């Protein structure tokens, strides 16, 4: 059995232009000081990593790992959430998502999508050079505007969307396979892969590709009212990454899952700092240990109330307290004996 690695922290919500969040070395020192052992690096943030250089230069990758090692840290994974989103964008979201792309391809959906695909290929090679085995991303979405079927969806609309999504992702998955790296899709509202059923629709279309795997984040399932523990039972063989994020769902007579177009603080479902929400992390970590998950437990801080630095400080200890050091023997081994087939047969009344 394997013990989960961690705690680690996703740096996307913390990187900024002010110290100590403005460079990899400085933010690594900050994270290590809080007790983190790993960092998940957003590959789009040039303050932390030059993705193209990492894909092409082993020397540069060695410098990155050396910078982190000086603080006692490792890279858990790279993330390409923003670029993955741009692999598939419905035209209704063109303006909203344009800011995720490089300036030279904004306003040009075809060029933007080609740029995003190239970014994923770079991420595969960079991950390989960095010695990583998993990568975090989003699937993007073509069908999402039609998730609630009114007016009734025309026959074949969703099937066509998922056929196209699979067509776009299959070569990317092949590139990650060549690099020996698993793709972990964060199952997330706003993505076409937003629950177990939609993931299975995609998985079937990419031929159950061995690299088309999952990033598990229970907070998104609380907000959807999906059983986040049973989800682990269903998909544990495909779960390769783990975001530790809390959430709460408090429906009222006026508001439910859809949120009523309210700000995060005023939604029935909202993200919270670890321990402030409703996720049963004792049960989550037990499930992950039961199914031999050996990846990283990565804090993703998103909270509508608490300051991020407080959430990060508390989160390191929270994760450390929940990681289960798995047993190396059964608790009743002391009472076990050697295999005695003849004795076993006598106990069964078989002579």
Render pLDDT for 11-41 as a digit per residue (tens, 0 to 9).
999 999 999 999 999 999 999 999 999 999 9
The rounded distance, in Å, linking the Cα atoms of 215 and 204 is 18
Residue carrying structure tokens 């289960």 = 324
CA nearest neighbour of 113 among 32, 197, 44, 169: 169
pLDDT at 339: 83
DSSP class of residue 4?
Answer: P
pLDDT at 332: 73
pLDDT at 340: 86
Digit-coded pLDDT (tens) for 285-340: 999 999 999 999 999 999 999 999 999 999 999 999 999 999 887 777 777 778 88
Digit-coded pLDDT (tens) for 78-116: 999 999 999 999 999 999 999 999 999 999 999 999 999
Residue-by-residue DSSP string for 113-153: HHHHHHHHHHHHHHHHHTT--EEEE---BSSGGGSS-SSPP
DSSP class of residue 89?
Answer: B
The rounded distance, in Å, linking the Cα atoms of 88 and 137 is 13
- pLDDT at residue 231 is higher than 80: yes
Digit-coded pLDDT (tens) for 113-149: 999 999 999 999 999 999 999 999 999 999 999 999 8
pLDDT at 338: 80
For residue 190, the number of C-alpha atoms closer than 13 Å in the C-beta half-sphere is 13
Q: How many residues does the chain have?
A: 351
How crowded is residue 297: how many other Cβ atoms within 10 Å of its Cβ? 26
At 75 the three-state DSSP class reads strand
Overall pTM surpassing 0.75 (yes/no): yes
pLDDT at 26: 98
The rounded distance, in Å, linking the Cα atoms of 274 and 332 is 35
Query: Residue 20: is the preceding peptide bond cis (ω within 30°)?
Result: yes
For residue 268, the number of C-alpha atoms closer than 13 Å in the C-beta half-sphere is 17
pLDDT at 280: 98
Q: How confident is the model at residue 351 (pLDDT cuts 50, 70, 90)?
A: confident
The rounded distance, in Å, linking the Cα atoms of 272 and 224 is 15
Q: How confident is the model at residue 259 (pLDDT cuts 50, 70, 90)?
A: very high
Average pLDDT along the chain: 96
The rounded distance, in Å, linking the Cα atoms of 338 and 149 is 62
The rounded distance, in Å, linking the Cα atoms of 219 and 79 is 18
CA nearest neighbour of 191 among 140, 135, 258: 140
Cβ–Cβ < 8 Å for 85, 144:
no
């Amino acid at each position: 059995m394997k013990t989960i690695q961690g705690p680690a922290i996703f740096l996307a919500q913390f990187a900024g232009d002010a110290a100590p969040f403005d460079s990899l070395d400085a933010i690594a020192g900050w994270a290590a000081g809080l007790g983190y052992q790993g960092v998940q690096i957003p590959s789009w943030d040039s303050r932390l990593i030059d993705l193209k250089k990492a894909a092409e230069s082993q020397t540069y990758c060695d410098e990155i790992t050396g910078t982190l090692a000086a603080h006692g840290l490792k890279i858990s994974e790279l993330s390409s959430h923003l670029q993955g989103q741009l692999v598939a964008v419905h035209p209704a979201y063109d303006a909203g998502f344009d800011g995720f792309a490089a300036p030279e391809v904004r306003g040009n959906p075809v060029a933007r999508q080609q740029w995003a695909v190239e970014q994923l290929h770079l991420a595969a090679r960079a991950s390989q050079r960095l010695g990583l085995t998993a990568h975090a991303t989003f699937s993007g979405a073509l069908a999402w505007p039609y998730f609630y079927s009114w007016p009734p969806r025309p026959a074949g609309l969703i099937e066509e969307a998922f056929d196209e999504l699979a067509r776009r992702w299959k070569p990317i998955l092949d590139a990650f396979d060549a690099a020996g790296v698993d793709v972990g899709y964060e199952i997330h509202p706003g993505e076409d892969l937003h629950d177990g059923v939609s993931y299975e629709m995609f998985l079937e279309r990419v031929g159950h590709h061995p690299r088309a795997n999952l990033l598990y984040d229970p907070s998104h399932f609380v907000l959807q009212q999906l059983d986040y523990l049973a989800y682990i039972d269903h998909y544990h063989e495909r779960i390769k990454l783990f975001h530790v994020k809390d959430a709460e769902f408090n429906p009222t007579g006026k508001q439910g899952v859809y949120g009523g177009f309210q700000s995060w603080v005023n939604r029935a479902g909202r993200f919270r700092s670890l321990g402030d929400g409703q996720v049963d992390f004792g049960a989550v970590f037990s499930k992950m240990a039961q199914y031999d998950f050996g990846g990283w437990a990565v804090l993703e801080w998103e909270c509508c109330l608490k300051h991020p630095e407080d959430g990060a400080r508390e989160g390191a200890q929270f994760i450390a307290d929940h990681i289960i050091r798995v047993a190396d023997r059964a608790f009743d081994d002391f009472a076990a004996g050697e295999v005695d087939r003849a004795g076993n047969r006598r106990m069964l009344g078989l002579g």
